[in-house]
Amino acid sequence: MTRPTSDARDRVLSTATRHMKRAGISDFTLDEIAEEAGCAKGLVAYHFGSKDQLIVAAAEGILRGHAAEWQKALRAASFESTVSQTWQTLVAEVREGYWRAWLSLAASRDRVIVQLVNNHTNTFVEALRQASESQMRTMGLEPSVSIKELGQFLSVGLQGLGLQLAAGVKPEVLEGAHSALWVAVLGMTRPATDRSR
């Protein structure tokens, strides 16, 4: 039987999400979440069953939000806009605590969390692959490496920059590295060949 959605459930989930973005999952307690959400611990358990299930629900929301923000950034009209919008997205995510939550989730040994992180990483790589391929096509280019490798390269680079920003490196120090990452992508292209002949 599905439990009904309630204001308390939404408050608990929102509180858990904020907590994960602020402090990760290591100090995550149902007592703390219940107190901050303004409800009884039993109500948290009623809606989510356990601490682990609440963490998974919050993680799913955080990862969905990340995917949605990157889809917007990667739909930019030009290569230059993509570079600018992905940088703005990275900086905003650091400010909002996404990368703190991501690091905590990525370090988890919980089987369900590990699967969530792996699925999300694969989705992120695919989104980067598709965006890169689309931008290259509009510029009359094609990759000189496999397009999947290009997506993985971008994913690793962007995740590394996000984690450095979350660790306190000033954005002005890393903005050039972000641009260089995208320039490196251009270095992995060649003029597109006409395959219709």
pLDDT at 4: 46
Task: Quickly tell me which residue has 């089987």 as its tokens.
Answer: 111
**What is the torsional sign of CA 179, 185, 188, 192?**
negative
Element (H, E) at 189: strand 189-191
pLDDT at 6: 66
Q: Rg for the chain (alpha carbons), in Å?
A: 20
Mean pLDDT per block of 10 residues along the chain (197 residues) reads 66 96 89 93 92 96 97 94 97 96 94 96 96 93 94 96 95 97 95 71
Total-model pTM: 0.89
Q: At what angle do helices 98-106 and 111-138 cross, to 10 degrees?
A: 120
Written as six digits, the tokens of 191 are 């003029």
Written as six digits, the tokens of 30 are 């149902």
Alpha helices (runs of H) in 30-170, residue ranges in sequence order: 30-37, 41-48, 51-74, 79-96, 98-106, 111-138, 147-166
